[in-house]
Amino acid sequence: MRTLRILFGLLFMLAFAPSLTAQNDGDRLIGVWEPSHGKARVKIDKIGNKYYGRIVWLKEPNDPETGKPKLDKNNPDESLRSTPLRGYRILKDFVYSDEGQWTEGTIYDPENGSTYSCIIKMKDDNTLDIRGYIGVQTFGRTDVWKRLALKPRS
């Protein structure tokens, strides 16, 4: 009976180990990242099974015209233009798809109020290629983001 239990336990582990590993691999994206322009820092978190990134720091937090904190003044929905950029969720709905890639997400550009399809590739533990595109990946632009608190290389 005991042997049977151990056997079932092992089978259970074998069956679910790959999905658990995939989940943990996906969580490598969680952390604070800095785009190449260095004007902002984005914290990536997980909600449900998807990943989201919020602006947590701005080099110039205030709008030079108003002297007040920058707002999402280009939001296509006028009723939401009072939303502050600090705390704004610009990366949305990313799903870990395997091999260091997160897909199905979008990236929002507050400079023009546009949302683009986006794919994230992890080059190494501390470097991301973030590619925003319209329609097909060919028509897009890639930016390199660096992890803020660098992890020691393994």
Partner 1 sequence: MRLHSLVLVSLIALLAACQAPSDQISFSLENQEFVMMGPLFSGANMAQIEVAPEVQSFLETKGYQTLTGARLTAVSLHIADTLTFDLCEEMSLQAVGDATEMQQIAVLNPVPQGQTDVSLQPAAEAELLPYFQEGTFFLVLDANLAGDLATDLAIGADLTFELSASK
Say if residue 125 is exposed, middle or buried (CB neighbours under 10 Å; 0-12, 13-18, 19+).
Answer: middle
**65 is a contact residue toward partner 1 (CB under 8 A):** no
Per CB under 8 A, which of residues 74..113 are in contact with partner 1?
A: 76-80, 82-84, 86-87, 89, 92-93, 106
> Residue 45, interface with partner 1 (CB under 8 A)?
yes
Cα–Cα distance, 138 to 79 (Å, whole number): 34
Q: Is 134 helix (H, G, I), strand (E, B) or coil?
A: coil
Q: Which residue, 11 or 30, is less far from partner 1 as judged by CB?
A: 30
Shortest Å, Cβ 45 to partner 1: 7
Q: Quick one: DSSP state of residue 29?
A: G
CA 134 to chain centre: 18
Of 125 and 148, CB closest to partner 1: 148
Interface residue with partner 1, options 40, 55, 107, 119 (CB under 8 A)? 55
Distance of CA 141 to the CA centre of its chain: 16
CA distances from 123 to 28, 100, 120, 128, 146 (A): 12, 8, 10, 6, 10
Candidate ranges 17-25, 44-52, 118-126, 133-141; the one touching partner 1 (CB under 8 A): 44-52
Residues that bind partner 1 (CB under 8 A): 43, 45, 47-50, 52, 54-57, 71, 76-80, 82-84, 86-87, 89, 92-93, 106
